Structure 1
């Protein structure tokens, strides 16, 4: 029931009139911080999943098991709805169906399935797409794979920057007809492209990055964009902070002299220390401090 409530919250965002910016999350601590700060939605990107779990670039090395387990950890830690980048579904349409089952069980509020050819084909550089017909099969398999009808399935295409705007629209309309709940576009370069896509389709739109002149939430909302990603700066900032801290310690700085460390109050809130103490008192008979 708790997972369904998260999925219904995501659906209310997609069915609403506003465009929201999700918080990029990748582990139990980051999702709790995003929740505490009031984000309506978390975004678990494929690139940060690969970095957080493997320390590898976004080249389809992470497995479904690893992705789902990380999502499961976040679902346990916080009630914030999370949209998961499920890449190509880790294989063909039958693998997509399994991907949906695993991420649904792990507590995802929604997931995206894309038509990128992954992993990269031998001897080929640059992004390539699978045939549209195969993409349609993947979308149908994704929908068939969910047991909770409130789980959000989003069809994603990067065709705009690979095969052109016209192909992106054809693919989007085909995925729409297949029954997905929303459409995710990457590679949109200008307002004209977004407006053409919005005019040709009917479903809510998720936008994966856009030029600065398209960043205004009111403008995006008017083109039916309900979720607009803004990259994964939190993980980048955390990487820089870890580097600077370890570098200072390696060079002889004392722990007490380090700058930029969280307060004990922030750390305690992130680890839900008050809840743990209350449970220790109730269940273990420990006295509250």
Structure 2
């Protein structure tokens, strides 16, 4: 098992090597030490630090922008050390303006990640498969993206994610994807397309290495991995593939001990409600 310091410079190079190989790279979502260990033991070659999973499992919070950069960098260090794999790490919006993005990149690189994922949502962000998202202007996000690209010291892979499909439509999301690629993002991630036809259009029109988010019971339809690979996606991430069944197994174990059913429904919304989404939403409305 390796440490963050020993993987800091080698993890990005290993991820880039894997991305250059034929086929689509599959990255299961990890969120703590045991999930990271098990992904490695299962034979996967890369892991995805899911922001939603990290805040739900580590801090008991829904994915609505409540975690800090420090908390997420700490979780990144845990999964890097436990997995010994290249870790693709969710960094939400970068946790502030371009100066904050620089600090976030530095913290994530110290943790030893192979890639950092930044998105163009407004603050506070929301899970990409929840309603009522909003995005910042394209130029504003580009300033943050450029800050991330210039701040890295280890050739860390920078993934630019756009959440514009929901609030602004697919054409806007595609335009942003092209702009982010032109500005130097290593990979592009168009979040939450609504149909298979939209997935196909993203694959055909965005001229950059693409990431696909596999979220059962989310806004995006189920697309078999073989079809994603055929369409040319370079990497697929599975943020809830481990956490969702783990949460449901915990609920079943508690029921088996005579407890009430905690009711962890399928999909992101069900998981977030289990960790207080409705209560936090009420607070948001109260202080709006």
TM-score w.r.t. the length of structure 1 is 0.78
* Secondary structure, counterpart of 2:116 in structure 1: strand
State the partner residue of 1:283. Answer: none
- Summarize the Cα distance change of 1:8–1:47 in structure 2 as closer, same or farther, 3 Å threshold: same
Within the candidate set 101, 105, 112, 1:100 is matched to 105
Equivalent residues in 2 for 1:229-240, closer than 5 Å: 229-240=237-248
For each residue in 1:214-244, what CA deviation from the matched residue of structure 2 results, as whole angstroms up to 9, or x when unmatched?
A: 3242x32233211122341322222233334
Q: Which residue of 1 aligns with 2:69?
A: 64
Distance 1:197 1:78 in 2: 32
1:46 shift after superposition = 1.2
- Alpha-carbon separation, structure 2, partners of 1:128 and 1:177: 23
Q: Distance in 1 between matches of 2:17 and 2:166?
A: 30
Partners of 2:151 and 2:93 in 1: CA distance: 15
- 1:110 matched to 2:110? The reply is no
**CA offsets 1:38-59 (integer angstroms, 9 cap, x no match):** 1121111111111122101001
Q: CA deviation at 1:250?
A: 6.0
Does 2:150 match 1:144? Answer: yes
Give runs of aligned pairs for residues 45-84 of structure 1, distance below 5 A: 45-84=50-89
Q: Please report the RMSD computed on the Cα atoms of aligned residues, expressed in angstroms.
A: 2.0
Distance 2:76 2:190 in 1: 23
How many positions carry a matched residue from both structures? 245
Say whether 1:196 aligns with 2:201. Answer: yes
Match of 2:221 in 1: 211
| Correspondent of 1:130 among 136, 142, 151 | 136
Which residue number corresponds to residue 23 of structure 1? 28
Distance in 1 between residues matched to 2:15 and 2:173, nearest whole Å? 24
- Structure 2 alignment gaps of length 5 or more: 1-5, 215-219, 260-288
Report the Cα offset of residue 104 of structure 1.
0.8
Take 1:28 and 1:241, find their aligned partners in 2: how far apart are those partners?
18
Q: Secondary structure at the match of 2:9?
A: helix
SS at 1:130's partner residue? coil
Q: Determine the structure 2 residue equivalent to 1:177.
A: 182
Distance 1:250 1:114, change over 3 A: same
**Contact (CA 8 Å) 1:53, 1:66: kept in 2 or not?**
no
Compared CA separation, residues 164 and 112, structure 1 to 2 (3 A): same
Q: Would you say the 8 A contact 2:89–2:113 is kept in 1?
A: yes
The CA deviation string for residues 52-74 of structure 1, in whole angstroms up to 9 with x for no partner, is 22101001111111111111112
Structure 1, residues 185-242: CA drift from partner, whole Å, max 9, x if none? 1111234323333333322100123422x3242x322332111223413222222333
**Is 232-241 or 104-113 further displaced after alignment?**
232-241
> Which position in structure 1 is the counterpart of 2:18?
13
Is 1:87 aligned with 2:95? no
Please say which of residues 20-29 and 107-116 is displaced more in the overlay: 20-29
Q: TM-score when scaled to structure 2?
A: 0.79
The corresponding residue for 1:241 is: 249
Query: Which stretches of structure 1, 4 residues or more, deviate above 6 A after TM superposition?
Result: none
SS for the counterpart of 2:63 is coil
Are the equivalent residues in 1 in contact too, given 2:92–2:125 (CA < 8 A)?
A: no
